[in-house]
Amino acid sequence: MTKTVLISGASKGIGLATARRFARGIDDVSCIVMVARKSDAFDSAFAEVRAISGNRQIFQVEADLSNPEAVKDVFDRLDAENVAVNYIVNNAGYAKPASINETHMVDFEMTMRVNVYAPFRFVQEALLRNHPLEKVINIASTAGTKGRSGWMSYSTSKAAVINMSEVMRDELAPYGVDVVCLSPGRCATDLRKKLAPDEDPTTIMQPEQVADVIAMMSSPTGKMLLSENLVVRC
Ligand SMILES: NC(=O)c1ccc[n+]([C@@H]2O[C@H](COP(=O)([O-])OP(=O)(O)OC[C@H]3O[C@@H](n4cnc5c(N)ncnc54)[C@H](OP(=O)(O)O)[C@@H]3O)[C@@H](O)[C@H]2O)c1
């Protein structure tokens, strides 16, 4: 039977690298749903993935995940297209680094909406609509295992993703849904540039390396790896 993966934050960085990886073939996944906000970059990313995907079906779904209604709209579109989701890669992420004194609640709230509430809603909505969910891969961060000075909202949100993944794993295991939490370290993307503007991106992990781990965790081999929170770094 053919399977579908939904990847949030698929317009660039780790999400785009993951979409490319699925487009080249992983296990029995033959349908890829790419989610991000409307932009020219997303259009280009979608066109590029479609071009390398052979016979696989690719859907581009525009959604601003800071909007609490957005996940429902994504599933309305998928239901209308008769797409049943088996794998969710909760990858979209937002960061606005600031010290405690300079953290504005509107930015903190935005970080929580994109990094915590949206991944929760993707899983909840898939369950409520009886999608044949079997694997959830939540992308947390090493910033979630150890708080970092100047990264109040981001570190807090990623700690929540790690804990949320434990709840999901515990609660959904009896129903055959495998929940994986990956915590990448420094990876050369736009988000990392915001967090560490002076770093040379060629000296750190590349998005394709994280995508390879996501691919492995989505394969039958990944089923043999049980971990509360897998750290991915090079
Ligand atoms: N890079 C690192 O060092 C690192 C380390 C640990 C964990 N991570 C995590 O890895 C994940 C991927 O990040 P990345 O490093 O690949 O960053 P990135 O290149 O900046 O990509 C972030 C993705 O999230 C999407 N996104 C952000 N806000 C959104 C919103 N409101 N609605 C919908 N989509 C939104 C972006 O799409 P649009 O902006 O096009 O909508 C983009 O596709 C994140 O969860 C991040 O926290 C990254």
Average pLDDT in the chain = 96
Mutate to test the pocket of ligand 1, among 7, 14, 46, 229 (most ligand atoms within 8 A of CB): 14
Confidence of residue 113 (pLDDT cuts 50, 70, 90): very high
CA of 137 to the centre of ligand 1 (A): 14
Distance set, CA 55 to CA 32, 50, 200 (Å): 11, 9, 38
Q: For the chain, what percent of residues have pLDDT higher than 70?
A: 100
Helix (H, G, I), strand (E, B) or coil at 201: helix
Q: What is the pLDDT of residues 123-178, one digit of tens each?
A: 999 999 999 999 999 999 999 999 999 999 999 999 999 999 999 999 999 999 99
Please state the rounded mean pLDDT for residues 173-185: 96
- Residue 228 has a pLDDT of 78
Identify whether the C-beta of residue 35 lies closer than 8 Å to the C-beta of residue 63: yes
Is residue 20 predicted with pLDDT exceeding 90? yes
Query: How far apart (Å, rounded) are the C-alpha atoms in residues 223 and 27?
Result: 12
- Please give the distance, rounded to the nearest whole angstrom, from the Cα atom of residue 1 to the centre of ligand 1: 31
Instruction: Give pLDDT tens digits for 80-91.
Output: 999 999 999 999
Residue 37 CA, closest ligand 1 atom number? 41
Q: How far is the CA of 192 from the centre of ligand 1 (A)?
A: 9
| Whole-number Cα distances in Å, 57 to 153, 158, 162, 212, 227 | 37, 31, 31, 21, 31
Residue 225, SS3 per DSSP: coil
**What distance lies between CA 154 and its chain's CA centroid?**
15
Domains of the chain: 3-232 (3.40.50.720)
Report CA(195)–ligand 1 centroid distance (Å): 12
Q: Which residue has a Cα nearest atom 14 of ligand 1?
A: 13
Q: Is residue 225 pLDDT above 80, yes or no?
A: yes
Residues 62-104 have pLDDT tens digits of 999 999 899 999 999 999 999 999 999 999 999 999 999 999 9
